[in-house]
């Protein structure tokens, strides 16, 4: 099956654009790698003269992957031969990995391997280091955990030898060997090597760091910091709360490292230094806590967070958050508040959509781009600010615990200085200060009557409207949105701030934020400021067509009606009536043929939002009901004008929402208007039953209220022929599941609310036939669930004395059992409920059994012995007529679930015989 020639051909086929061919090639190679012939094919490839380097690599890789599957030590001599050949580096690395797999997989090799590698390194240093590295990697990945633990213990016992190897390698004056050695040590630290227990190695690493820093070789010092960082991550003592629990030799090293970190600090140090220093201090804070080092560590972190590079300052954030948890920021947190405000400055005063959405932007030149060390070290302004929120909160909470919260606000206020709109630096600084306040506003207990807070608010409110102040407005709106619970305690300030919202409600970028902030004001449960509410309604009347978008209109109306209704409940009806009158006046504009699509959508949203809110919150109030019904009747004429297509734009989706809410909230006092809406709904549905299927839902909604309104029953009777025949023919043509779903809902509602119309229809059998057809052809969980629920509703209302009864039973039972193997197990219980309803209608059990038997022979039992099919049919009826309700629900459901191809063996036929023989 496998050969060298075939392998080469299949390997070349991997690049074939034909996906079938490339997939087959990939499968061939995978099977080869898993076969015993993999070694032989790989050897043949590698032993060919002038073989391409690509095939040398793939052959070495094949040996490695096969060894991972089965560690066969017999290939070791061949691997030794390969080490002597001039293979490309990538291929040699695969050979080294193979050696490592053999070593890890054979316990007899563990004891003397390090000495052998020392000898190998004398001749071929890079190969020796690579094998040593791979032993750690393969050991870490070894699938036998018990063997992995033994391996770790073995090399822990050889740590002195490892230390000598690492030290010797670090003394080699070769950058390539340096990089390879650092990576090797990292891998061993991750596997088993306790770096911080090795004093000599630690001292050597610190010495090398000092040399690279002095020579300004940041690339190499950062590699060594990264190595120490791995030591922190994999140390058994990290996050140790008690310093006395740390081994004395390890503690000596940790103190040495801490002193070194503090000593070498310089403003020019790299992100690697900042990252390691923070990680080390956070994970080993027990050696700092209440020690001689504590103040020096705080000073160090304060210096790092003040670094001109934001990405370096960012490294300290974990420290400040941790210090809050330890309650260690008191007296120091405020020291870095000004620094954090400075660091959070935006790079421009220009307000953009990207800024509003929090999208990344380029690093600000204010923060010394010379510190940028590559894309992985980049941090955008938006990301920095987002993470800074937690630091501001930590600073505030520490100040609050020390009774210094006023000083936090005072520092913010000190930064709020703008002499003119042209002072860009002042604007950016002020915005950043407000951002520091906005960051804590949601969590902090800030009192509105605090004089400094009032001064900050007055600073914001006093700024004139100017595009250069937009970024300040943006942050202020966000802050006020979170501050509303405090604002309601001061009516004067609350009114001023609401007027501030109105100033920016129509701004193309700030408008949505102002809308959200206003909405938060409206949500205040105790707000009943008549002047504020009156001004809010007046603003709506004056600027309705100037709102930014339809969503803002809806949200504003939703807020306004809450306020107006709150006054209404207190006996002040003026604002609510004013709002209803405004809605009516606006909607009358729809009779104007020149109205724009935007104006139509706004007016439509105005009425819909009012009706929806009233329906959800106040529909039981008689006076409100009267207002609502008057509005529904008043808007009928312009609504009809729109539906007759006088405008030149598509409005069906929006008008559908309006008619739906009208049919829901109207008291149906004007019968002609309701009938007209039903006729129009059917006409629109008729025009495109696939795209406009939801218009049938409006008729279904009205049918649902026919119990209280007989004229709807009469309308349904007159239009029965048209609706059913059209739906049946449309489904036959298109087989559309959405159409069938709304049609099933319609028929079900007809059964529930005016069943005499449906049961007297000459199309009753056709209706059931098409729904059964949909059950069989649209084999989806949702459709099955809806139709089964429909069948249950149908049998609850069917009269077993009518001549339509038996044909319907036959059709439905046949449909259920012809598809029993396809019904989702999660809804089989509905089939059980339907069968119970059928039995309760006094259907002859013997006839029902025979019908089930005949149907099962065509479906589940078509390839099964007749006696088994008969047994199942009899058991179904026996469960229905002889069992208790709980047994039916449990055992019959289980039997029906097992009538699926993959579950047939689960049927207990002996148990079925017992059930059948029961009396």
C-alpha span between 142 and 105 (Å, rounded): 8
Residue 415 has pLDDT above 60, yes or no: yes
SS3 724: helix
Classify 258 as helix, strand or coil.
helix
Confidence of residue 368 (pLDDT cuts 50, 70, 90): very low
What's the average model confidence in pLDDT over 762-782? 94
Task: Decide: residue 593, CB within 10 A, 0-12 exposed, 13-18 middle, 19+ buried.
Answer: exposed
Q: DSSP of 851-893, one letter per residue? A: HHHHHHTTTTTTTS-HHHHHHHHHHHHHHHHHS-HHHIIIIIH
Compute the distance between CA of residue 716 and CA of residue 141 in angstroms, rounded to an integer: 72
**Cβ burial 434-454 (10 Å sphere, 16+ → b, else e):** bbbbbbbbeebebebeeebbe
Burial-class residue 914 by CB neighbours within 10 Å (0-12, 13-18, 19+): exposed
pLDDT class of 374 with cuts at 50, 70, 90: very low
Question: What pLDDT is stored for residue 369 in this prediction?
Answer: 35
> 777: which 2 tokens?
């052809």
Range with lowest mean pLDDT among 339-343, 347-351, 506-510: 347-351
Let me know: does 181 contact 216? Beta carbons within 8 Å: no
State the Cα–Cα distance between residues 232 and 605, nearest whole angstrom. Answer: 60
How would residue 378 be classed by pLDDT, with cut points 50, 70 and 90? low
| pLDDT exceeds 90 at position 358 | no
- Tell me, what's the pLDDT at 180? 97
Q: Are 850 and 808 in contact, with CB atoms under 8 Å apart?
A: no
Q: What is the pLDDT of residues 632-657, one digit of tens each?
A: 999 999 998 888 775 556 678 889 99
Longest CA–CA span in the chain (Å) reads 103
Question: Considering only 231-240, 486-495, 740-749, 834-843, which range has the smallest mean pLDDT?
Answer: 486-495
**Does residue 373 register a pLDDT over 60?**
no
Q: Are 469 and 421 in contact (CB under 8 A)?
A: yes
What's the pLDDT tens digit per position in 585-623? 999 999 988 889 899 999 999 999 999 999 999 888 899
- DSSP type of residue 364: P
**What digits encode the pLDDT tens for the residues 87-141?**
999 999 999 999 999 999 999 989 999 999 999 999 999 999 999 999 999 999 8
Whole-number percent of the chain with pLDDT over 70 = 96
- Cα–Cα distance, 103 to 73 (Å, whole number): 9
DSSP 35: S
> In this predicted model, what pLDDT tens digit does every residue of 827-862 receive, in sequence order?
999 999 999 999 999 999 999 999 999 999 999 999
**Does residue 371 have a pLDDT over 60?**
no
> What was the pLDDT predicted at 47?
94
Residue labelled with tokens 């390969």: 82
Mind listing the pLDDT tens digit for each residue in 193-246? Answer: 999 999 999 999 999 999 999 999 999 999 999 999 999 999 999 888 888 999
At 594 the pLDDT is: 86
57-86 burial, b at 16+ Cβ within 10 Å, e below that, comes to bbbbbbbbbbbbeebeeebeebbeebbeee
Q: At what angle do helices 550-569 and 597-617 cross, to 10 degrees?
A: 40
3-class DSSP state of 578? helix
Residue 364: its pLDDT value, please?
Answer: 42
| pLDDT number for residue 361 | 53
Q: How high is the pLDDT of residue 365?
A: 40
Residues in the chain: 919
The CB density around residue 467, as the number of other CB atoms within 10 Å, is 12
pLDDT at residue 375, as a whole number: 42
Neighbours of 429 (CB within 10 A): 20
Nearest 5°: CA angle at 791, between 789 and 793? 70
Q: What local confidence, expressed as pLDDT, does residue 486 receive?
A: 76
Q: Which of 470, 510, 328, 494 is nearest to 401 (CA)?
A: 328
pLDDT above 50 (res 353):
yes
Question: Where are the chain's structural domains?
Answer: 210-305, 327-500, 528-651, 668-790, 798-919
| Mean pLDDT within 467-493 | 88
- Region 81-91: mean pLDDT is 93
Across 500-509, average pLDDT: 96
Please, what is the average pLDDT of the chain?
Answer: 91
Report pLDDT digits (tens) over 19-75. Answer: 899 999 999 999 898 888 999 999 999 999 888 999 999 999 999 999 998 888 899
Please tell me the predicted confidence (pLDDT) of residue 902: 67
- The whole-number average pLDDT for the span 404-423 is 95
Q: In angstroms, what CA-CA distances link 413 with 139, 431, 497?
A: 59, 11, 18
Contacts of 489 (CB under 8 A, 6+ apart): 448, 449
């Amino acid at each position: 099956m496998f050969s060298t020639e075939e392998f080469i051909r299949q390997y070349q086929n991997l690049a074939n654009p034909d996906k079938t061919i490339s997939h087959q090639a990939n499968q061939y190679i995978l099977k080869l790698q898993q076969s015993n012939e993999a070694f032989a094919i790989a050897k043949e490839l590698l032993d060919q003269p002038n073989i391409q380097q690509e095939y040398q690599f793939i052959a070495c890789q094949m040996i490695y992957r096969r060894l991972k599957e089965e560690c066969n030590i017999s290939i070791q001599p061949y691997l030794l031969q390969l080490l002597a050949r001039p293979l490309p580096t990538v291929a040699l690395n695969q050979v080294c990995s193979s050696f490592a797999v053999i070593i890890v997989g054979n316990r007899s090799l563990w004891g003397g391997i390090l000495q052998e590698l020392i000898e190998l390194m004398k001749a071929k240093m890079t190969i020796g280091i690579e094998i040593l590295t791979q032993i750690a990697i393969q050991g870490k990945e070894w699938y036998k955990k018990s063997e992995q633990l033994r391996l770790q213990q073995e090399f822990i016992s050889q740590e002195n030898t490892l230390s000598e190897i690492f030290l010797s390698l670090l003394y080699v004056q070769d950058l390539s060997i340096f990089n390879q050695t650092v990576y090797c040590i990292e891998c061993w630290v991750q596997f088993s090597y306790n770096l911080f227990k090795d004093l000599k190695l630690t001292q050597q690493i610190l010495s090398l760091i000092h040399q690279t820093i002095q020579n300004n070789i940041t690339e190499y010092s950062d590699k060594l910091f990264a190595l120490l960082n791995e030591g922190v991550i994999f140390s058994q003592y990290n996050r140790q709360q008690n310093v006395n629990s740390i081994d004395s030799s390890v503690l000596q090293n940790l103190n040495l490292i801490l002193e070194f970190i503090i000593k070498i600090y310089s403003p020019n140090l790299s992100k690697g230094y900042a990252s390691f220093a923070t990680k080390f201090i956070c994970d080993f804070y027990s050696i700092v806590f209440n020690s001689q080092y504590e103040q020096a560590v705080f000073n160090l972190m304060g210096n790092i967070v003040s670094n001109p590079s934001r990405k370096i300052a960012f490294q300290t954030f974990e420290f400040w958050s941790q210090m809050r948890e330890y309650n260690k920021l008191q007296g120091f947190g405020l020291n870095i508040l000004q620094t954090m405000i400075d660091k959070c400055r935006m790079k421009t005063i220009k307000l953009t959509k990207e800024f509003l959405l929090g999208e990344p932007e380029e690093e600000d030149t204010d923060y010394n781009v010379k510190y940028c060390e590559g894309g992985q070290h980049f941090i955008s302004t938006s990301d920095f600010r987002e993470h800074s929120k937690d630091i501001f909160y930590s600073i505030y909470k520490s100040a609050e615990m020390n009774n210094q919260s006023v000083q936090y606000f005072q520092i913010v206020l000190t930064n709020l200085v703008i002499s003119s709109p042209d002072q860009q630096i002042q604007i950016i600084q002020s915005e950043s200060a407000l951002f520091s306040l906005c960051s804590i506003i949601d969590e902090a207990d800030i009192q509105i009557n605090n004089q400094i807070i009032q001064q900050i608010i007055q600073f914001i409110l006093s700024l004139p409207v100017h595009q250069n102040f937009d970024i300040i407005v943006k942050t202020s709106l966000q802050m006020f949105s979170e501050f509303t619970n405090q604002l309601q305690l001061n009516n004067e300030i609350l009114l001023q701030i609401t007027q501030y919202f109105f100033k920016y409600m129509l701004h193309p970028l700030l408008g949505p934020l102002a809308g959200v902030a206003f909405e938060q004001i409206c949500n205040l449960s105790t707000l009943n400021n008549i002047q504020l509410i009156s001004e809010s309604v007046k603003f709506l009347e004056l600027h309705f067509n100037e709102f930014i978008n339809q969503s803002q209109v809806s949200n504003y109306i939703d807020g306004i009606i809450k306020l107006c209704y709150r006054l209404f409940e207190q006996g002040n009806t003026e604002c609510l009536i004013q709002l209803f009158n405004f809605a009516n006046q606006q909607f009358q504009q729809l009779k104007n043929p020149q109205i724009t699509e935007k104006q139509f959508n706004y007016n439509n949203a105005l009425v819909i939002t009012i009706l929806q809110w009233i329906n959800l919150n106040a529909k039981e109030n008689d006076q409100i009901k009267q207002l609502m019904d008057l509005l529904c009747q008043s808007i009928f004429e312009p609504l009809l004008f729109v539906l007759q297509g006088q405008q030149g734009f598509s409005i069906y989706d929006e008008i559908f929402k309006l008619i739906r809410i009208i049919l829901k909230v109207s008291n149906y006092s004007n019968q002609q208007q309701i009938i007209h809406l039903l006729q129009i709904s059917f006409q629109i549905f008729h025009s495109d039953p696939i795209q406009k299927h939801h218009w049938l839902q409006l008729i279904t909604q009205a049918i649902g209220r026919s119990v209280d309104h007989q004229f709807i029953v009469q309308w349904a009777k007159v239009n029965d022929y048209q609706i059913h025949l059209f739906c049946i023919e449309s489904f036959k043509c298109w087989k559309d599941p959405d159409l069938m779903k709304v049609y099933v809902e319609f028929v079900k509602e007809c059964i529930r609310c005016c069943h005499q119309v449906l049961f007297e229809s000459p199309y009753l059998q056709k209706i059931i036939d098409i729904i059964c057809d949909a059950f069989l052809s649209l084999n989806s969980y949702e459709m099955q669930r809806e139709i089964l629920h429909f069948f249950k509703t149908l049998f609850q209302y069917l009269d077993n004395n009518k001549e339509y009864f038996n044909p319907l039973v036959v059709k439905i039972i046949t449909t259920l059992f012809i598809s029993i193997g396809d019904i989702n197990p999660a809804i089989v219980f509905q089939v059980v409920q339907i069968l119970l309803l059928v039995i309760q209608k006094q259907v002859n059990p013997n006839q029902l059994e025979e019908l089930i038997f005949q149907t099962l022979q065509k479906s589940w039992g078509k390839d099964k012995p007749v006696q088994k099919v008969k047994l199942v049919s009899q058991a179904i009826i026996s469960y229905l007529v002889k069992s208790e309700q709980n047994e039916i629900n449990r055992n019959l459901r289980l039997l029906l679930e097992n009538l699926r191809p993959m579950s047939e063996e689960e049927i207990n036929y002996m148990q079925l015989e017992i059930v059948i023989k029961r009396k």
